Structure 1
């Protein structure tokens, strides 16, 4: 090993890593049982030692610079190695602890993930879990999340991705709302129905028309914007017909498919992680648990009768 190339203090690296993982100097200080000014000085000292700026300070927030993102990828492995050394020296077995951030869409977060997170908490009670609820694609490379559950194959070649399974969406409504439409036997009977819209109704219109429905703008007089969860609650309130996965709909006694043989819209479930998956026992453990727990929930869901 070239010891001359090591031009930094490990304590400074530890302060930087704790700040990255906990999200602020104050949280890092609590984790390391030091004062916030001490952590701030150590991070500043590391920047001086390496000759790079690691954080942009925007108000009270710290945002990793590109140099900070690159360094975090390297020092995270150092931190885990240091933890293993401590455990080995004390004769303890390695436990999964620290924090993990998982990003998932609104509907899955509310209706599917509670069962998954319950299993995760049981297996790894020392792990702090942050669920980032968003319908946007969080940037794993910028550390907005450690793991993402997505409905599209990621295009970033630096991400590690696994296609877990395929879920299926269909059209749902309350029995009371369907009763207001009279007898419905096929797509042609929904000309006067109200379908709940989202931010962009074009894809919804296209999906309906491709399966035989004749619909237009007047069938979309109520929209819930970008919120799929509000969309779902409005359907449950009897305000119209909405889209939703069978995984969620089959578990909700308030809803029924709008037809005995409704149109089906399959979509993939992808599990994605940044490259730290290869070196982080924490991220690997959670990634593997999600890969184990999610497919049975989709596979065992009861489809439309």
Structure 2
């Protein structure tokens, strides 16, 4: 493998995963032209087309399919080397990447980041707001806060506690639309999640099986906004009662324990001082919020 390949393979992998030059450039946080040039240079180096181009995007050729597993192995070797070296870092300074959903970022996490900044002024946090699960082992992030029932990846995962969720709407929606709704939620509208193939199942099993799914949004904070704009009902962690008193539990519904909060990081970063400081600080702060996160179902 020529030394040039190490520089060009990230563009190859990004386009192979994203299916287009522009989407691949977004993954790499670079521009379209750079990715295009890198793909062309790699194909010229190999003397074969790695992608077939069409109006639908980029698709791997047989040669591209042959290269893909080796490129992924090379990527993993480089990631492992970086993580191993970073794990030897004993300094209480530097930058770490932290992935968190927009749902929690603005109201739950931002005050924690402020307090962390005061405690550790030489550690910078690069906040990555995403509703997707960023892969620790592919070096997409260093630390991630997730809501999940289980974490099955080969990572270090610290389980905190299950969160309580309920069905919420604005007080205006409850006073007007809910007050006039029919049996089992007829006339009500759910705010759901796009791409949910099990939508019919959870609606049928909910307290309002006759409500329709009017809007769908993957961004949890946008779901909050739609609730506050009287657009429907939705499941929501009860902690948001603390931040948005205009949101109310839908009458006649019960809160339930749902997914747990997990702090996830790469195994090789456990001994990196800035990572350990951040993870311990974050865990302590979130434990202090347990009563708010679990509401009336809180148990010590």
Same fold (TM over 0.5): yes
Q: Which residue of 2 aligns with 1:114?
A: 110
- Are residues 301 and 221 of structure 1, via their aligned partners in 2, closer, same or farther at CA, if it must alter by over 3 Å? closer
Number of equivalences:
238
2:262 to 260, 270, 281: 270
**Cα-to-partner distance string for 1:175-200 (whole Å, 9 max, x where unaligned):** 11111135489x94521111112203
SS of residue matched to 1:300: helix
Do the aligned partners of 1:249 and 1:255 also contact (CA within 8 Å) in 2?
A: yes
Do the aligned partners of 1:52 and 1:67 also contact (CA within 8 Å) in 2?
A: no
Which range is displaced more, 195-204 or 53-62?
Answer: 53-62
Q: Which residue of 2 aligns with 1:295?
A: 287
Structure 2 gap ranges (5+): 12-32, 39-70
SS of residue matched to 2:137: coil
CA distance in 2, matches of 1:247, 1:228: 13
Q: Which residue of 1 aligns with 2:77?
A: 67
User: Aligned-residue CA RMSD in angstroms?
Assistant: 3.2
Matched, 1:206 2:206: no
CA distance in 2, matches of 1:279, 1:301: 29
CA distance in 1, matches of 2:7, 2:280: 31
Structure 1 residue 205 displacement after superposition? 4.3
From the CA coordinates, give the structure whose radius of gyration is larger.
Answer: 1
SS of residue matched to 2:279: helix
Matched, 1:222 2:215: yes
- Are residues 229 and 189 of structure 1, via their aligned partners in 2, closer, same or farther at CA, if it must alter by over 3 Å? same
Structure 1 residue 260 displacement after superposition? 5.1
Q: Which residue of 1 aligns with 2:52?
A: none
- Are residues 122 and 57 of structure 1, via their aligned partners in 2, closer, same or farther at CA, if it must alter by over 3 Å? same
**Cα-to-partner distance string for 1:106-157 (whole Å, 9 max, x where unaligned):** 2011231112212211211111111111111101112211111112222122
Q: Which residue of 2 aligns with 1:43?
A: none
Matched, 1:256 2:251: no
Structure 1 gap ranges (5+): 1-46, 84-95
Q: Which residue of 1 aligns with 2:187?
A: 192
- Are residues 301 and 154 of structure 1, via their aligned partners in 2, closer, same or farther at CA, if it must alter by over 3 Å? closer
Q: With structure 1 as the length reference, what TM-score do the two structures score?
A: 0.68
Structure 1 residue 170 displacement after superposition? 1.2
CA distance in 1, matches of 2:132, 2:173: 31
SS of residue matched to 2:187: coil
CA distance in 2, matches of 1:209, 1:265: 19
Matched, 1:155 2:152: yes
SS of residue matched to 2:163: strand
- Are residues 260 and 121 of structure 1, via their aligned partners in 2, closer, same or farther at CA, if it must alter by over 3 Å? farther
